[in-house]
């Protein structure tokens, strides 16, 4: 709980506490009762269904003010788990429908909430603008335009989430090129529901320096070695993979083998309430599964800080806080 943590892979809407979404829906008289189980948590059957429920849960989030409140709630949870830096996926698809003017207002509201949370809890947020793969390459281009308009010291990256089984990375090359030209750093979900070839495609066709998940690279050791040699960083989310049925347990998760083979691994939660997890729980489960001590987690936090897409001044501050915790 108290170890300082650096999280690189968190979806803002996916981190929404179910109670927050339920209360907002009730206030706005939107009926999304079908997405909750009897204990009030999110309910879904499998990955496709998870994506459906995820999208339904965004329905009551209609205004920049809603996103302001959501951001405060999410960062409070992260900070309680010891997170000091959070790189968060933000989606103009849900924030104003990819209209640049609306996106500016939403991102400004999120940023103002993040500034408040930083003052309140000492947690730092930076944004990765992220189109949704199954919405298609055309919409991703519009999202890239939104990203380019707001690129800077706070919107620092561009990614791609959604259904990996739909389309190919190269369909999104235009969007990624536009984001790169705007100075954004690049990551892409791959090797979660697609195999090693999906990771290869994302690296080759999009030029990403990080991969979201990437766990299924383990099925091709030549690819694992290439990832290790080129220093591509994996944003691993073990609790997410276990909850969605990719692996039966933490012990069966490839994070340990990837690390042993020299890959730069980081640990994140993805969509914590959906997977009944937190950063503190991820650490605890990994410690139990692999007998990892504080030294391993310290190394992972530093790897994460070095792989963060923020400016060097922010990175130095994060690294100093990690070093202070060592002492
Ligand atoms: N969006 C939110 N969580 C995701 C995941 N685990 N994979 C793909 N897209 C997502
Ligand atoms: Zn994700």
Task: State pLDDT tens for residues 121-169.
Answer: 999 999 999 999 999 999 999 999 999 999 999 999 999 999 999 999 9
How much is the pLDDT for 327? 81
Return the CA Rg of the chain. 18
Burial pattern 126-152, b for ≥16 Cβ within 10 A else e, equals bbbbbbbbbbebebbebbbbbbbbbbe
Task: Confirm if 124 and 115 have CB atoms less than 8 A apart.
Answer: no
As a whole number of angstroms, the distance between CA 189 and CA 140 comes to 14
What pTM was computed for the model?
0.98
The catalytic position among 7, 13, 142, 192 is 192
What is the fold of 5-16+61-326? TIM Barrel (3.20.20)
How does the average pLDDT of the chain come out, rounded? Answer: 98
Pocket test for ligand 1, best of 15, 42, 54 (most atoms within 8 A of CB): 54
Q: How far is the CA of 72 from the centre of ligand 1 (A)?
A: 21
Confidence class for position 2, pLDDT limits 50, 70, 90:
confident
pLDDT tens track for 252-294: 999 999 999 999 999 999 999 999 999 999 999 999 999 999 9
Return the domain boundaries, the chain.
Answer: 5-16+61-326
Ligand nearest to the CA of 47: 1
Residue 21: pLDDT over 90: yes
How much is the pLDDT for 107? 98
Instruction: Name every protein residue with a CB atom under 6 angstroms from any ligand 1 atom.
Output: 11, 14, 54, 161-162, 189, 192, 240, 270-271
Q: How far is the CA of 325 from the centre of ligand 1 (A)?
A: 32
Mean pLDDT for the stretch of residues 296-302: 98
Distances from the Cα of 194 to the Cαs of 162, 177, 190, 232, 244, in angstroms? 12, 23, 6, 18, 14
Beta strands (DSSP E) in the chain are 5-11, 83-90, 124-129, 155-158, 185-190, 210-213, 233-236, 264-267
Residue 212: pLDDT over 90: yes
Residue 20: pLDDT over 90: yes
State the closest ligand 1 atom to the C-alpha of 240, by its place in the atom list counted from 1: 6
- Decide the pairing of beta strands 233-236 and 210-213: parallel
DSSP class of residue 272 equals G
How much is the pLDDT for 57? 98
105 is catalytic: no
Ligand nearest to the CA of 194: 1
Pocket test for ligand 1, best of 52, 172, 212, 246 (most atoms within 8 A of CB): 212
Tell me which of 232-236, 240-244, 302-306, 323-327 is least confident.
323-327
Confidence class for position 1, pLDDT limits 50, 70, 90:
confident
Q: What percent of the residues of the chain are helix, what percent strand, and what percent coil, each to the nearest 5?
A: 55, 15, 30
Q: How far is the CA of 327 from the centre of ligand 2 (A)?
A: 33
CA 64 to chain centre: 20
Confidence class for position 318, pLDDT limits 50, 70, 90:
very high
Residue 301: pLDDT over 90: yes
Residue 326: pLDDT over 90: no
Percent of the chain with pLDDT over 90: 98
Residue 297: pLDDT over 90: yes
Percent of the chain with pLDDT over 70: 100
Mean pLDDT for the stretch of residues 209-228: 98
The total number of residues shown for the chain amounts to: 327
């Amino acid at each position: 709980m108290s170890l300082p943590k650096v999280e690189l892979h968190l979806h803002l809407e996916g981190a929404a506490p179910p109670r927050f979404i339920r209360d907002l829906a009730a206030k706005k008289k939107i009926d999304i009762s079908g997405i909750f189980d009897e204990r009030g948590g999110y309910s879904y059957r499998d990955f496709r269904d998870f994506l459906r429920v995820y999208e339904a849960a965004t329905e009551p989030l209609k205004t920049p003010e809603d996103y302001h409140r959501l951001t405060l709630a999410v960062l409070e949870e992260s900070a309680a788990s010891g997170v000091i830096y959070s790189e968060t996926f933000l989606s103009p698809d849900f924030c104003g429908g990819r209209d640049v003017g609306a996106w500016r207002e939403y991102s400004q509201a999120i940023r103002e909430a993040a500034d408040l949370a930083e003052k309140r809890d000492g947690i730092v947020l930076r944004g990765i603008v992220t189109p949704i793969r199954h919405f298609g390459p055309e919409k991703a281009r519009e999202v890239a335009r939104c990203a380019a308009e707001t690129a800077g010291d706070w919107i620092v990256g561009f990614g791609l989430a959604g259904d990996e089984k739909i389309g190919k990375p190269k369909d999104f090359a235009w969007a990624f090129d536009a984001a790169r030209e705007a100075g954004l750093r690049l990551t892409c979900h791959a090797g979660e529901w697609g195999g090693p070839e999906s990771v290869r495609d994302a690296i080759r066709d999009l030029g990403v320096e990080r991969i979201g998940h990437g766990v299924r690279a383990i099925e091709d050791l030549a690819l694992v070695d290439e990832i290790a040699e080129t220093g591509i960083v994996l944003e691993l989310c073990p609790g997410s993979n276990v909850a969605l049925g990719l692996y039966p347990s933490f012990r069966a998760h490839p994070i340990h083998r990837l690390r042993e083979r020299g890959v730069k691994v980081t640990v994140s939660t993805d969509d914590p309430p959906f997977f009944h997890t937190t950063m503190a729980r991820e650490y605890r489960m990994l410690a139990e599964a692999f007998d990892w001590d504080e030294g391993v987690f310290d190394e992972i936090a530093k790897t994460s800080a070095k792989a963060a897409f923020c400016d060097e001044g922010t990175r130095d501050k994060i690294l100093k806080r990690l070093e202070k915790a060592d002492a």
